[in-house]
Amino acid sequence: SGDGSIASQLNYTITGIDAGAGIMAATEEAIEAYGLEGYNLQTSSSAAMTAALAAAYEKEEPIVVTGWTPHWKFAKYDLKYLEDPKGVFGAAESIHTIARVGLETDHPSAYQVLDNFYWEQADMGEIMIAINEGADPADAAAEWVANNQDKVAQWTDGVAEVNGDKLTLVFVAWDSEIASTHMIGQVLEDIGYDVELLSLEAAGMWTAVATGSADALVAAWLPGTHAVYYEDYKEDFVDLGVNLEGAGIGLVVPAYMDITSIEDLNN
């Protein structure tokens, strides 16, 4: 049914993820900026979004999703970001590590490792792809840690081991953050911490560290995607800086779709 337009082929739907994700707010802004008010941004989850993408891709059907880099979907499928001439989704950004106030005094070893933590997109990609191929996240993270002791050694160099001190890391179940959080959790376990990984909504993740109920997160997308959360709490946490560079968000479609820009969604 429909009139054959791009919008009708897409059932006037942009397939989104969890409501608290920064990319959802950015997409609402894009809907306004590009006059896409006829579209419905569907709230779901990372897992439901990638399932919808897989189903559409298999049948070469049109679909537009809220997408981000790094993400395994670009290795698995031939996809493209829609051009964003109005710059709503911002330029490349970085993922930061954020600690609670007082972590340095209470758990200096963990603080030091978290402060040292820095890796490349290909590193995160290895874990994400292993998980996508069916590995348990903890197993995929442990395997990466075992195979990359040279990198881990740079983060743990000179750091004193501990004896079962409890730590809580918070994250959101985004594929990229499932990978990074399990990895750094494993590194902290290996120097003696008893690490709990707690999956929350985006706002809850930031609140937990800002109120001190959790120790740290490695999932802060800045300066754009998590700007609202960052501004809300900026007096109440310690920004340990970048752990990964070259991240980005946008609207993503399969390469077989004959459109190149967000503006084309109006056609």
Q: What is the binding site for ligand PBE (CB under 6 A)? A: 17, 21-23, 68, 174, 176-177, 202, 221, 225-226, 249
Shortest CB 69 distance to ligand PBE, Å: 9
Shortest CB 262 distance to ligand PBE, Å: 17
Query: For residues 161 and 239, which CB has a smaller minimum distance to ligand PBE in the complex?
Result: 239
Shortest CB 28 distance to ligand PBE, Å: 12
Judge contact between 121 and 75, C-beta under 8 A: no
Query: For residues 72 and 174, which CB has a smaller minimum distance to ligand PBE in the complex?
Result: 174
Shortest CB 21 distance to ligand PBE, Å: 3
Q: Give the three-state DSSP class for 259.
A: coil
Q: Which candidate, 110, 103, 94, 96, places its Cα nearest to that of 236?
A: 103
* Cis geometry, peptide bond prior to residue 223 (ω within 30 degrees of 0): yes
Shortest CB 175 distance to ligand PBE, Å: 8
Q: Which candidate, 40, 43, 44, 30, places its Cα nearest to that of 89?
A: 30
Query: For residues 34 and 230, which CB has a smaller minimum distance to ligand PBE in the complex?
Result: 230
Bridge partners, 169 (sequence order): 197, 216
Query: For residues 19 and 159, which CB has a smaller minimum distance to ligand PBE in the complex?
Result: 19
Judge contact between 189 and 195, C-beta under 8 A: yes
Judge contact between 52 and 15, C-beta under 8 A: yes
What single-letter amino acid sits at 189? E
Query: For residues 75 and 160, which CB has a smaller minimum distance to ligand PBE in the complex?
Result: 75
Helix (H) or strand (E) holding 104: helix 103-106
Shortest CB 241 distance to ligand PBE, Å: 17
Judge contact between 146 and 186, C-beta under 8 A: no
What is the phi/psi pair of residue 225, to 5°? -60, -40
Query: For residues 25 and 162, which CB has a smaller minimum distance to ligand PBE in the complex?
Result: 25
